[in-house]
Amino acid sequence: MTDLTESISAPPVGVVGTSHVRLEGREKVTGAARYAADVPFEGLAHGSLVLATVARGRITSIGVDDVLAMPGVLGVIHHGNAPRLNPEAGLLGTGDATLQLLQDDRVPHVGRPVALVVAETAEQARAGADALVVTYEEEEADLVFSADHPGSYTPAAAPEKHKGDVDAELAAAPVVVDQRYTTPQEHHSAMEPHASMARWADGRLEVVDSNQGSFLVSYVLSVLFRLDPGVVRVRAEHVGGGFGSKGIGPQLILAVMATTELKRPVRVALTRRQVFATTGMRAATDQRVRLGADSTGRLRAIDHDTATHTSTIHEFVEFPGEVTNALYAADAIRIRTSLVKVNLPTPTWMRAPGCAPGSFALESAMDELAEAVGVDPVELRLRNEPEVGPISGLPFTSRNLVGCLTEGARRFGWADRDPRPGVRREGRWLLGTGMAAGIYGAGSLPSTAAITAHPDGTFTVGIGAADIGTGARTALVLVAADALEVPTSAIRIDIADSDLGQAWFAGGSRGTSSWTWAITAAATDLREKLADIAHIPADGITGRADTAPLIGALEQRENHAHGAQFAEVAVDPSSGEVRVRRMLGIFAAGRIINPLTTRSQLIGGMTMGISMALHEEGLRDAQFGGQVNGDLAGYHVSAHADIPAIEADWVPDYDPSNPSGVKGVGEVAIVGTAAAVANAVWHATGTRQRSLPISLERILTTTNA
């Protein structure tokens, strides 16, 4: 394998741009790394959730007394005795009723927590939760989302966005692709189930949690429980994956309630089924994409119309149209979203929200357009490369999608591809290749950081960042080392503690850009302070930064990471089996800080994308609303055997809007994967797959053996 990265990158000045193993690597390979449920506490009690079993209704009774009489049971928290919560609390600053647990007798959807049983041991708590009899008055529930649902509406959070006259361009275009694409409910399924420990100690609420941003969680917790923000301390040293699911989990809210009521440290760890039921999912989407083009494939119109769903208690909008916002130039573009409120749990962000399902639709449609106009799919994309934001008209900070497409095509061997579908066979397998482009937003958000210089020549960096497996801890040390012009061995870093101050969370692919900015600014502040003094006192000298004013002063730009993904698949039409044989992703994602971990994260996103393409589908019963496959044996995520040798690499890119030139990589890597696989399946079989996942059943019922 030729390693493009090493050959085209400028020689690094410092350590940024060179590969470093994870700082916490040794702890992770020896089992010493402690996750939320691993930290021991004196006198710890255990809480176990009880979830609503009805699809909608009202709690009429809770058999508390019988459970209180069980061995080891310390208490049962329910709507009759739970602390009252502040309805204005929410991760985005506005009230999210999803967090309002145990506040009344209403059951808005199946799986809603209705009680917490706390006991001396986890086994006793679980037995109590299993034994707790809750009766309900059931009400008629609306459980099935569909695009033509009578209750659908345009949410204020996702108003129609357009430029030009889409209908006129579509009517005038000589070639039109008009198709519907569907994606199912998908679940994050981080390997670590959500867990929290909460206790009151020395007048503070101390929380050990599994989350993507301890400062934000501590802040929202303080609002939710009407506490002074300084009272709450949240830590999440090691987090076993998040993918968007680890904001404020139900286990945290209930653990805080329990410790407040019972005056004991309480740990609440969700079971895997409870993770499926209570921590949100990617909403299902039903998307209609219409592309109008001239005979050369130049786009005259893109119309991207999405129907999706949310719960009856909180409006979360999955926004696939996001992908259409800035990927291609067209004379006219229109993005519309309609939402339906159903009696199902509130969906939430999941890796590349919007763009992951959106790119499946748009990039599948682009492949259909390539077929219709007889233009190579890579060339089709090159012909529609925008100069400026296609809708906004704003300039891009930097954009190297062309580099991704051309370099990807070169390395994949795309030029040799026979465009005809269904003509390559190897034994029982039909072979095909496909590609797709991807895009995901970049940018920085306000964060604070502090760096202390010690007399022994070492430094301590403190920043409320989170490392949920991204390699953030290591990357931030590399950036700090270069900013301070010292070796990495001179730097110690503290992260994932709300006491370190405000910082953006690990989300939106904006963690590294936001945190590195704060660190470089703090380093500048520190170096200025050090310049004025002769020697460092015993308690050190601290430089600080808050990037809010710097970020507030930025000019508006289109800022995105880009990628192009290429897949080769084998399809056995007689069994329906689809295997991805190889996959290549080339990305333009700003400056790469740590190539070793960046490559892992990119490959990880593509791996999740293959899983999305082939396996993942949350199945619900239409009568009860409950998930029928809410465990890891029923909800299939890719296993080792599903994943071929995946290569990921990058082309030069640099985001001039932040000092490290960084764009995020966590999300762009899953954008386009499913479409690349689906397009390859078409190339193998000649049959389009417009619904995910591309299951055995779909192949068997649509493809001739």
Partner 1 sequence: MKEFAYSRATGVEEAVSLLAGGSEARFLGGGTNLVDLMKSGVEAPDLLVDVRGLPLGGVEVTADGGLVIGATTTNSDLAVHPEVRRRFPALSQAVLAGASGQLRNVATVGGNLLQRTRCGYFADTSRPCNKRVPGSGCPAIEGEHHNHAILGWSDHCVATNPSDMGVALAAFDAVVSYETVDGPGELPLAEFYPAVGDTPHVETALPAGALITAVTLPAAPVAARSRYRKVRERASYAFATGSLAAALDVRDGVVHEVRIAFGAVASRPWRARAAELSLTGAPATAESFAAAADAELAAAKPLAHNGYKIPLLRNLVVSVLTELAEEAAR
Partner 2 sequence: MPPTTRSDISLRVNGETHVLTVDNRTTLLDALRENLGLTGTKKGCDHGQCGACTVLADGRRAVSCLQLAVAAEGSDITTIEGIADGEDLHPVQEAFLELDGYQCGYCTPGQICSAVAVIKEHAAGWPSAATADVRPDAEPVPLDAAEIRERMSGNLCRCGAYTAIVRAVARASDETKVTA
Q: Which residues are catalytic?
A: 667
Check residue 577 for interaction with partner 1 (CB under 8 A). Answer: yes
Least distance in Å: CB of 67 to partner 1? 13
Among 265, 563, 590, 626, binds partner 1 (CB under 8 A): 626
Check residue 123 for interaction with partner 1 (CB under 8 A). Answer: yes
Q: Out of partner 2, partner 1, none, which partner does residue 622 contact, by CB within 5 to 8 A per kind?
A: partner 1
Q: Out of partner 2, partner 1, none, which partner does residue 687 contact, by CB within 5 to 8 A per kind?
A: none
The token pair that represents 635 in the structure block:
């909800």
DSSP for residue 413:
T
Whether 141 contacts 274, CB under 8 Å = no
Characterize the bridge pairing of strands 266-269 and 285-293: unpaired
For residues 386 and 390, what is the distance between their CA atoms, to the nearest angstrom? 6
CB neighbour list of residue 330: distance below 8 Å, 6 or more residues apart: 164, 169, 299, 300, 301, 302, 384, 390
What burial class does residue 509 get, using C-beta atoms within 10 Å of its C-beta: 0-12 exposed, 13-18 middle, 19+ buried?
A: buried
For residues 512 and 664, what is the distance between their CA atoms, to the nearest angstrom? 7
Check residue 155 for interaction with partner 1 (CB under 8 A). Answer: no
Q: Which is nearer to partner 1, 524 or 702 (CB)?
A: 702
The token pair that represents 426 in the structure block:
């190897």
Stretch that binds partner 2, among 123-131, 140-148, 288-296, 446-454 (CB under 8 A): 123-131
The token pair that represents 308 in the structure block:
């999706």
Q: Which is nearer to partner 1, 494 or 617 (CB)?
A: 617
CB neighbour list of residue 138: distance below 8 Å, 6 or more residues apart: 54, 55, 56, 57
For residues 369 and 377, what is the distance between their CA atoms, to the nearest angstrom? 8
Site for partner 2 in 465-484 (CB under 8 A): 468-471
For residues 52 and 629, what is the distance between their CA atoms, to the nearest angstrom? 17
Check residue 574 for interaction with partner 1 (CB under 8 A). Answer: yes
Check residue 138 for interaction with partner 1 (CB under 8 A). Answer: no
**CA angle (565, 400, 471) in 5-degree steps:** 65
Least distance in Å: CB of 411 to partner 2? 16
The token pair that represents 208 in the structure block:
């050990």
Q: Out of partner 1, partner 2, none, which partner does residue 577 contact, by CB within 5 to 8 A per kind?
A: partner 1
Residue that the structure tokens 């994870």 belong to = 22
Among 94, 295, 428, 528, binds partner 1 (CB under 8 A): 428
Least distance in Å: CB of 130 to partner 1? 5
Check residue 127 for interaction with partner 1 (CB under 8 A). Answer: yes
Q: Out of partner 2, partner 1, none, which partner does residue 190 contact, by CB within 5 to 8 A per kind?
A: partner 2
Check residue 582 for interaction with partner 1 (CB under 8 A). Answer: no
Residue that the structure tokens 């397998």 belong to = 429
Check residue 40 for interaction with partner 2 (CB under 8 A). Answer: yes
Check residue 568 for interaction with partner 2 (CB under 8 A). Answer: no
Check residue 35 for interaction with partner 2 (CB under 8 A). Answer: yes
Distance of CA 548 to the CA centre of its chain: 24
Whether 682 contacts 688, CB under 8 Å = yes
Check residue 333 for interaction with partner 2 (CB under 8 A). Answer: no
Least distance in Å: CB of 6 to partner 2? 16
Site for partner 2 in 625-654 (CB under 8 A): 631-633, 637-641, 643, 645-646
For residues 15 and 490, what is the distance between their CA atoms, to the nearest angstrom? 13
Site for partner 1 in 69-98 (CB under 8 A): 71
Stretch that binds partner 1, among 387-395, 522-530, 570-578, 583-591 (CB under 8 A): 570-578
Q: What share of the chain is helix, strand, coil (3-state, %, to 5)?
A: 30, 25, 45
| Number of residues near partner 1 (by CB under 8 A) | 39
The token pair that represents 641 in the structure block:
């055997």
For residues 386 and 383, what is the distance between their CA atoms, to the nearest angstrom? 9
Check residue 697 for interaction with partner 1 (CB under 8 A). Answer: yes
Q: Which is nearer to partner 1, 6 or 123 (CB)?
A: 123
Check residue 66 for interaction with partner 1 (CB under 8 A). Answer: no
For residues 167 and 13, what is the distance between their CA atoms, to the nearest angstrom? 53
Check residue 271 for interaction with partner 2 (CB under 8 A). Answer: yes
Query: Applying CB under 8 A, which residues contact partner 1?
Result: 53, 71, 123, 126-127, 130, 428, 574-577, 579, 614-615, 619-624, 626, 628-631, 633-634, 636, 638-642, 695-697, 700-701, 705
